[in-house]
Copies of this chain bind each other. A is one copy, B any other.
Amino acid sequence: MAAMTQLDLSERSAGRAAQLADAGANHKLGRKRDLTRDPAILDAALEVLAETGYDGMTIDMVAARAKAGKATLYRRWPSKAELVFDAIACMKQGEIDFAQLPDTGTLRGDLVAMIKPPSIKDGEKKLRIMAGLVSMLAKHPDLAEAANTAIVEPRAKVNRLLMRRAMERGEISPDCDIETLALVTPSMVSYRVLILRKPINREYLISLIDSVILPACGLAQTRT
């Protein structure tokens, strides 16, 4: 096979994510596969990915981080590319619980209530992971889609929901372009972290809400 410096998922196998469903079916003799190693390895892959990026990441680094043998990784994934793909696809950390979103009665209250230190920290880690993948997204739509689903879409979804609710109760005009406005914060936060290399903190997020989002929704700035 030719050079594979970059990811090649053109003929991907089922993927670990899909295989998580079928548990047993292996009734021979001897020892079963240790299923507890999978998440440890995938977590290690995400950590290394965040620290070094895809190209800087080596299989040995991931194996060492997970205290696993390199052969163990290759017994489970056919290549580095597939390992990374599954690591992204299986990323469930920091998932937002849509059942208990804030409901303060005002859009500003809801948006501000979404700002929590653990959420910020989780977001920054996800963006560092994304930074290591950006250069590959162009050539691998599969990966781009998985990264979107796991990293960026959840945040946008929350904003869309909170804004739609504000629109339904008449707080903001029905002319507001929710689709676009829901991406303002994710976009500007990504830009700030990935390109400007500046930190994300509560002050910055609040300034985005008060200087951009709310005014764009036709709400006057009501700072405390």
Residue numbers of A with Cβ under 8 A of B are 5-6, 52-56, 128, 130-132, 134-138, 141, 144, 147-148, 152, 175-177, 180-181, 183-184, 186-188, 190-192, 194-197, 207-208, 211-212, 215-218, 221
Contacts and interface: CB of A to CB of B under 8 A. Distances in A.
Contacts of A52: 6
Given A128-B138, A187-B192, 8 more contacts: A5-B55, A134-B135, A144-B197, A152-B196, A184-B188, A194-B194, A212-B212, A215-B215
Given A197-B144, A215-B215, A131 B128 contact: no
Contacts of A184: 184, 188, 212
Nearest to A54: B135
How many copies altogether? 2
Contacts of A138: 128, 131, 197
B211 A180 contact: yes
B131 A135 contact: yes
A217 B54 CA distance: 40
A128 to B, nearest CB: 7
A56 B5 contact: yes
Contact of A190 (B56, B128, B135, B191): B191
A207 B191 contact: no
Nearest to A210: B177
A211 to B, nearest CB: 4
B53 A197 contact: no
Contacts of A132: 135
A135 B218 CA distance: 38
Contacts of A208: 180
A184 B54 CA distance: 28
A168 B128 CA distance: 40
Nearest to A218: B215
A5 to B, nearest CB: 6
12 contacts: A56-B135, A132-B135, A134-B134, A138-B197, A148-B195, A180-B188, A187-B190, A187-B191, A211-B216, A212-B212, A215-B215, A215-B216
Contacts of A194: 134, 137, 194
Contacts of A187: 187-188, 190-192
